[in-house]
């Protein structure tokens, strides 16, 4: 029975068979794909880990009749009634680090502007976002639409250039644009514009900070000057005007 699949949870199934049947250790070990000494340890309560028994009859992997055949003949090899289904992970959106999630709307806007042939499903899979977010960016109903600026998702680190190229190529082929060759100069120009835009934003921020510091310094100087003038005025004698002669 070497080619027979093992139960979904071999140790838990072996524990249940030890506790609830009269099968031999050899039969249980063979059916569960375990070493006979492991089954012996379970029976003697010496196993390092304690397992909660799992009923293979309830799971559909064995029938009661098959168990009875094995109990009647210790040399009988148990036959799997139904092999366990393979456990697979369903594919979901790409995982994006928290530090980069705020950049997703910018990447979405860039794809929508430069590659309108790419579907929402492709964008969602490429950068790990939802169709609701894509729709909100497209119709400008996103809560942060005022701050969203189209930026290359590759430059933002949301995907690789190879992944983006593959998605664009597949979308173009589906849309009947496979003969329209991409212009590398345009892509290079987009990246250069993004770098220039980021540099300009940095320079503008530095300029604004310098102007704010100058304004604060000027305001402090004026305030000190006013205080000095008021102090001088308060210490000067009060001029009451010329005295009148009384006759």
Contacts for 55-61: CB closer than 8 Å, 24+ residues apart: 55/16, 55/20, 56/7, 56/13, 56/16, 56/17, 59/7, 59/8, 59/13, 59/84, 61/7, 61/8, 61/13
DSSP 74: T
Q: Is the pLDDT of residue 45 over 90?
A: no
Contact (Cβ atoms closer than 8 angstroms) between residue 217 and residue 225 = no
Q: How many residues does the chain have?
A: 247
Instruction: Check residue 181 and give its pLDDT.
Output: 47
DSSP 79: -
Structure tokens at 93: 């959106």
Instruction: Check residue 241 and give its pLDDT.
Output: 52
Model confidence pLDDT, tens digit, residues 90-120? 555 566 666 667 889 999 999 999 999 999 9
Q: Is the pLDDT of residue 245 over 90?
A: no
Instruction: Check residue 180 and give its pLDDT.
Output: 47
Structure tokens at 99: 């530090």
Instruction: Check residue 109 and give its pLDDT.
Output: 94
Q: Give domain limits for the chain.
A: 10-72, 98-182, 185-224
Whole-number mean pLDDT of the chain? Answer: 80
Q: What pLDDT band is residue 225 in, cutting at 50, 70 and 90? A: confident
Minimal CA–CA distance to 108: which of 60, 159, 59? Answer: 159
- CA distances (Å), 18 to each of 26, 28, 221, in order? 11, 8, 90
Mean pLDDT is lowest, of 12-26, 28-42, 72-86, for: 72-86
Q: What pLDDT band is residue 27 in, cutting at 50, 70 and 90? A: very high
Say whether 193 sits in a helix, a strand or coil.
helix
Structure tokens at 58: 């309830």
Cα(128)–Cα(122) distance, integer angstroms? 10
Q: What pLDDT band is residue 69 in, cutting at 50, 70 and 90? A: very high
| Rounded mean pLDDT, 175-185 | 57
Model confidence pLDDT, tens digit, residues 187-203? 566 667 667 776 777 77
Cα(68)–Cα(23) distance, integer angstroms? 9
């Amino acid at each position: 029975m070497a080619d027979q699949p093992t139960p979904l949870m071999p140790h838990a199934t072996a524990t249940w068979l030890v506790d609830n049947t009269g099968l031999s250790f050899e039969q249980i070990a063979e059916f569960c794909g375990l070493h006979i000494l492991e089954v012996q340890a379970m029976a003697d309560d010496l196993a390092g880990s304690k397992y909660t028994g799992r009923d293979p009859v309830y799971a559909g992997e064995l029938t009661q009749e098959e168990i009875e055949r094995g109990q009647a003949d210790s040399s009988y090899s148990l036959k799997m009634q139904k092999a366990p289904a393979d456990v697979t992970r369903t594919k979901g959106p790409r995982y994006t680090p928290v530090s980069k999630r705020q950049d997703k709307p910018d990447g979405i806007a860039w794809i929508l502007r430069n590659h309108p042939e790419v579907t929402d499903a492709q964008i969602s899979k490429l950068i790990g976002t939802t169709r609701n977010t894509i729709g909100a960016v497209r119709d400008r109903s996103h809560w942060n639409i005022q701050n969203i600026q189209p930026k290359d998702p590759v430059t933002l680190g949301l995907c690789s250039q190879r992944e983006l190229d593959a998605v664009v190529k597949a979308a173009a082929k589906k849309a009947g644009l496979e003969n329209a060759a991409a212009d590398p100069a345009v892509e290079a120009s987009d990246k250069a514009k993004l770098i220039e835009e980021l540099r300009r934003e940095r320079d503008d921020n530095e300029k604004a900070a310098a102007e704010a510091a100058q304004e604060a310094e000027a305001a402090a100087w004026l305030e000190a000057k006013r205080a000095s003038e008021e102090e001088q005025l308060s210490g000067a004698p009060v001029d009451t005007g010329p005295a009148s002669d009384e006759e």
